[in-house]
Structure 1
Amino acid sequence: MTLSVALTHRFAGLALDVAFQAPVGLTVLFGRSGAGKTTVVNAVAGLLRPDAGRIQSGDRVLLDTAAGICLPPHRRRVGYVFQDARLFPHLTVRQNLLYGHWFAGGAGAADLGQIVEMLGIGSLLARRPAALSGGEKSRVALGRALLSNPGLLLLDEPLAALDDARKAEILPYLERLRDEVHLPILYVSHSMAEVARLATTVVMLDKGRVVATGPAAQILSDPATAPGLGLREAGAVLVARVAEHAQDGLTRLETGAGPLWLPHVAQPLGTALRLRILAQDVMLATQPPQAISALNILPARVADIRFGDGPGAMVSLQAGSERLLARITRRSAQTLGLAPGVPVFAVLKAVSVAQENIAPHAGTPG
């Protein structure tokens, strides 16, 4: 099932004109505040009727202004999770969840136990929202949305109101949602850390226009998109497999770019992971480095170089079957004679990859 969106809408300060497709998995709408992300999601939900457009979820047309079709929100089979959980304060967690089941006309009732287990909320069923943490409220809101028997899910910055500890608590559940629900999930965010960890597809918006769209690994490793993503946050996402836990506390990961040694990764051997490597943590050399403390030295070739307005340069590297990004200075690029096709060595410190940049991956590394 694929969600297809094409719409135009004008209002004060923004002329929205977007078209994209969101396949099964988690598609992140990414962009600065005011880019039009929430407007798009509200149009999909039926909370906003655009000036013109067509929205189709699988074989169901939700909106076609040319044909006079505009299904009301309650007929769109959309599960919507807002920044604030919007739980009913007078109902228990169980009753909030069953409201989703009631809203769906009884559909999906058999899934209650599965959803409670998937979201880890079994111990919360008798509580009321006032007794829940922010992360717990978010999980219950997700459960209620799932029990409404949706054809697609909309998540509008569901982590924005949470502190770092609560974000870390709920991220694994969002990953399970992405990997197990098998629905298109449209996820609004302006956090690169969330994009890198969760996204299977990225749609970048700027001033109401789509400036880039495609698989997450492709978009995040493209130097042309780095300014829009944020230079300090730019980096590539690799698929890895846990291959060895060494006695000295290091873990060896096998990737399409080559082996990588990182501080202990608390995952069983064979586990597939998503690994985010920031461009600013990658150094380049044109000769094999000698007598160096860095454990990770990957042979690569320069695929592309983008020079900014300032002294910086973003270098895209083809390392085996993977793409990496390196953020260096213009002077360094010129001194090294970098150009597309030039062989280099990408140098990465083992301690450069923070634990929050390592997450489960549903597929099998290639």
Structure 2
Amino acid sequence: MLEVTLRHGFPGFTLEASFAAPAEGVTVLFGPSGCGKSTLLAAVAGLLRPEAGRIALGGAVLFDSRAGVMLPPERRRCGVVFQDARLFPHLSVEANLRYGLRRAPRGAEGPDFSEVVELLGIGTLLGRRPALLSGGEKQRVALGRALLSRPRLLLMDEPLAALDQGRKAEVLPFLARLKQRLRLPILYVTHAMAEVDRLADTLVLMQAGRVLASGPVEEVAARTDLPLLGARRDAGVVLACRVLRHDTAQGLTHLAFPGGELAVPLATVPEGGPLRLRLRARDVVLATEAPRGLSVRNILPVVVEGLAAAEGHAAMLRLRAGPSLILARVTREAVARLALAPGQAAWALVKAVALSGPDGEEAPDD
């Protein structure tokens, strides 16, 4: 487990944050630019000495202001990937990768050279220099170099922020594959919700130097009491699903989640495999009578759990489909007209979803 509690002041800004991250999976630091995400990551890496606090990884203390402990970066065994790849321009891709391998502690466990090359799909790039690589290729090589240093923790500071949409689509599947294949804790900084949906297991929500909430992504993403999430146009919930079956004739994949089933456009995930799904509140319509004769495929029986005012003339409804939470953004006029209230049975009509499978693919369901 990664445990972080720290305080550090800058002119006009103070970072005062505390959170704990599991020993496996991806923990995402999410929030607007300037909220302190990258500063916090720098403190974990040992690139910044906080004024006060404590940082521990797997029981090993990396920093403790009271005890006077401040391990230097090279002893923390953190692999770091920045926005810019920071490859050695005079070395080939293979030489850049082997530089990371030379930095690995003797006897440290981790993926070998061939496994990293296969995992990141960079076998054809080994003889090239960085100047001949695309932005996405550079980031994959930088990630490979970090992995070959056999880190105990991988730190990624907005690794996709400098890439256009095409290059992001190139790199994301490899990050998702990394998450599936290697049991390595990752601390990932981003302000892009799409990256949260695809990669996060744990979400740490930050604003103005403070941690507003932290926990499993399914729980934190559904917090309508947090303006940073509830006010977003893409506000919604994340559901962890399993593929039940593929209907190639109809072009559909049928998913199961705790609380029901959903049909979505044909996905490439094998039957029985995991697939993460985002249900946006703006794409859920509510009915108080069983709908009939509609083009919408997905209709879920739900119970209204609660409602709250949203921006403008909208209201945000919390709906329960079995143990799963679904959000719906509707007008306040609709709430009054349908006499919606907690405890009421209803039907949620899902107009669209966004999918993220283990390889990071995404497809809209209209």
Q: TM-score, normalised by structure 1?
A: 0.93
Whole-Å Cα distance in 2 between the matches of residues 164 and 149 of structure 1? 30
Is the partner of 1:345 in helix, strand or coil? strand
Whole-Å Cα distance in 1 between the matches of residues 181 and 7 of structure 2? 33
The one-letter code of the counterpart of 1:237 is: V
Match of 2:21 in 1: 22
Q: Please say if residues 120 and 140 of structure 2, whose CA atoms lie closer than 8 Å, have aligned partners that are also in contact.
A: yes
Match of 2:57 in 1: 57
- Matched ranges for 1:51-200 at <5 A: 51-106=51-106, 107=108, 111-200=112-201
Identity between Structure 1 and Structure 2 (%): 54
Whole-Å Cα distance in 2 between the matches of residues 344 and 198 of structure 1? 32
Whole-Å Cα distance in 2 between the matches of residues 59 and 227 of structure 1? 32
The one-letter code of the counterpart of 2:62 is: L
Is the partner of 1:146 in helix, strand or coil? helix
Q: Please say if residues 79 and 153 of structure 2, whose CA atoms lie closer than 8 Å, have aligned partners that are also in contact.
A: yes
Q: Please say if residues 202 and 216 of structure 2, whose CA atoms lie closer than 8 Å, have aligned partners that are also in contact.
A: yes
- Matched ranges for 1:228-243 at <5 A: 228=229, 230-243=231-244
2:263 corresponds, among 257, 261, 264, to: 261
Whole-Å Cα distance in 1 between the matches of residues 124 and 88 of structure 2? 18
- How far is 1:291 from its partner? 1.8
Q: How many equivalent residue pairs? A: 357
Q: Please say if residues 220 and 226 of structure 1, whose CA atoms lie closer than 8 Å, have aligned partners that are also in contact.
A: no
Match of 1:359 in 2: 357
Specify whether residues 149 and 235 from structure 1 end up closer, same or farther in structure 2 by C-alpha distance, changes over 3 A only. same
Whole-Å Cα distance in 1 between the matches of residues 305 and 344 of structure 2? 8
Is the partner of 2:329 in helix, strand or coil? strand
Match of 2:12 in 1: 13
Whole-Å Cα distance in 2 between the matches of residues 229 and 191 of structure 1? 15
Unaligned runs of 5+ in 2: 361-366
Q: Which moved more, 1:132-141 or 1:173-182?
A: 173-182
1:220 aligns with 2:218: no
Q: Please say if residues 37 and 188 of structure 1, whose CA atoms lie closer than 8 Å, have aligned partners that are also in contact.
A: yes
Specify whether residues 289 and 210 from structure 1 end up closer, same or farther in structure 2 by C-alpha distance, changes over 3 A only. same
Whole-Å Cα distance in 1 between the matches of residues 2 and 111 of structure 2? 26
Q: Please say if residues 30 and 204 of structure 1, whose CA atoms lie closer than 8 Å, have aligned partners that are also in contact.
A: yes
The one-letter code of the counterpart of 2:137 is: E
Q: Please say if residues 202 and 214 of structure 1, whose CA atoms lie closer than 8 Å, have aligned partners that are also in contact.
A: yes
Whole-Å Cα distance in 1 between the matches of residues 359 and 223 of structure 2? 21
Unaligned runs of 5+ in 1: none
1:82-102 residue CA offsets vs partner (Å, 9 max, x unmatched): 001111011111111111111
Specify whether residues 53 and 323 from structure 1 end up closer, same or farther in structure 2 by C-alpha distance, changes over 3 A only. same
Q: Please say if residues 223 and 305 of structure 1, whose CA atoms lie closer than 8 Å, have aligned partners that are also in contact.
A: no
The one-letter code of the counterpart of 2:215 is: G
Is the partner of 2:29 in helix, strand or coil? strand
Is the partner of 2:91 in helix, strand or coil? coil
Is the partner of 2:114 in helix, strand or coil? helix
Specify whether residues 177 and 13 from structure 1 end up closer, same or farther in structure 2 by C-alpha distance, changes over 3 A only. farther
- How far is 1:237 from its partner? 1.1
Match of 1:336 in 2: 338
1:113-148 residue CA offsets vs partner (Å, 9 max, x unmatched): 111111111121111111111111111111111111
